[in-house]
Amino acid sequence: MTAAPTAPIITVRDLVKTFPVRGRPGEPKRLLRAVDNVSFDVFRGETLGLVGESGSGKSTTGRMLVGLISTSSGSVELFGHQIAAGAEKGALNKVRSRLQFVFQDPQNSLNPRMRVGDAIAEPLDVAGGLSRQDRQDRVRELLGLVGLPTGCGDRFPHEFSGGQRQRIGIARSLALKPDFIVCDEPVSSLDVSMQAQIVNLLLDLQEQLGLSYLFIAHDLAVVRNISTRVAVMYAGGIVEMAPKRELYAAPKHPYTQALLQAVPRPVPGRARPPSVAGELPSLIDPPKGCAFHPRCPFAFERCRIEKPRLQPDAAGHAVACHLHEAGSSAQ
């Protein structure tokens, strides 16, 4: 379906983001650890699905990749340029036009008073150098590319449905011919029927334009069709990462298993396994050991003391769980 991966275009190592949190008066400032030692690669032409619930750090990670927020520590290398904290000034500018971002909410990410043609052309205007005619042609081309009538650039965002607005957001992200797009929950606010249209559109564009995606979602069902590999985040860290087929066929981490079981299926009368109890832990004062252990049905002594590391097996299926460490016979 996609080109065979060769060299990574994005390399992320030990990425950390902390936010200072004001305590009550008199209490010291504390740190919220939103992203905690995250490492991954994205290869040319592939989609890495990044899945996690609210507060897992998935969006923060995506935003750091395109420079929308700064990193606290760790390294981010984009197309051979280091852009993380401490990198040479202006490094991000060298690669900025090759990176794009598609936001979750097409309602709020488009200026309601700007015609959609102008919204799509805005990145072109910033880059400069296009004649009026070329600009207009490019807007029509982009509208066509995302499956909208090429003549609808004169209309305003409110004249479009949610799904169509997301198409406009995608058209805008394509204006500067990027190589890599972070799609931050692009279908989460859409109806199921519209989700399928947008996912198919992103697949088509990837094939036509050779794009790579980091596709962020809160649910494993949505990323199944589009992803080449999938990483699951929990409480700031990646707990499992694997090629798509392996992850869905044989999920290893108890949290991944819980996420898969939680997806409602269109099968009436299915005996649904009970939901995993509890909610995401505090990121200011996270549990000792494995962050998932307070909710984990299989937790044992070691999980409460020692934080498991993400360890890949020979097939490239990585999991951070003491149940699956080499030498452990536990299932």
Partner 1 sequence: MTREPLLSVENLTVQFRGDRGWVTAIEDVSFQIGAGENLGIVGESGSGKSVSALSILRLHGRANTRYASGAIRFAGRDLLSMSERELRRVRGGDIAMIFQDPMSSLNPVLTVAEQIIEPLQLHQGLSAAAARRRAIELLEMVRIADAGRRIDEYPHRLSGGMRQRVMIAIAIACRPKLLIADEPTTALDVTIQGQILELLRDLQREIGMSVALITHDLGVIAEFAQRVLVMYAGRVIEEAPVAALFDRPMHPYTDGLIDAVPKLEGDLHRLTTIPGNIPDLAAVIPGCRFNPRCREAREACRRDAPALLPVGPDHLSRCPPRAAAAGGAA
Contacts with partner 1 by CB under 8 A lie at 53-54, 161-164, 191-197, 199-200, 203, 218-222, 224-225, 244, 248, 258-270, 272, 274-277, 279-280
Closest to partner 1 by CB, 74 or 169? 169
Closest to partner 1 by CB, 67 or 237? 237
Phi, psi for 41 (deg, rounded to 5)? -120, 155
Minimum separation from the CB atom of position 115 to partner 1 (A): 19
Q: Which residues contact 15 (CB under 8 A, 6 or more apart)?
A: 35, 37, 38, 39, 61, 64, 71, 73, 74, 75, 76, 84
Please check whether residue 321 is in contact with residue 253, taking contact to mean a CB–CB distance below 8 angstroms: yes
DSSP string, 82-136: E-STTSPTTHHHHHGGGEEEE-S-TTTSS-TTS-HHHHHHHHHHHH----HHHHH
Minimum separation from the CB atom of position 12 to partner 1 (A): 24
Please check whether residue 83 is in contact with residue 95, taking contact to mean a CB–CB distance below 8 angstroms: yes
Closest to partner 1 by CB, 124 or 290? 290
Closest to partner 1 by CB, 267 or 314? 267
**Which pair of structure tokens corresponds to residue 25?**
């008066």
Minimum separation from the CB atom of position 262 to partner 1 (A): 4
- HSE-up (13 A, CA, CB side) for residue 19: 13
Minimum separation from the CB atom of position 190 to partner 1 (A): 8
In which residue are the tokens 């999920």 written? 251
Closest to partner 1 by CB, 126 or 192? 192
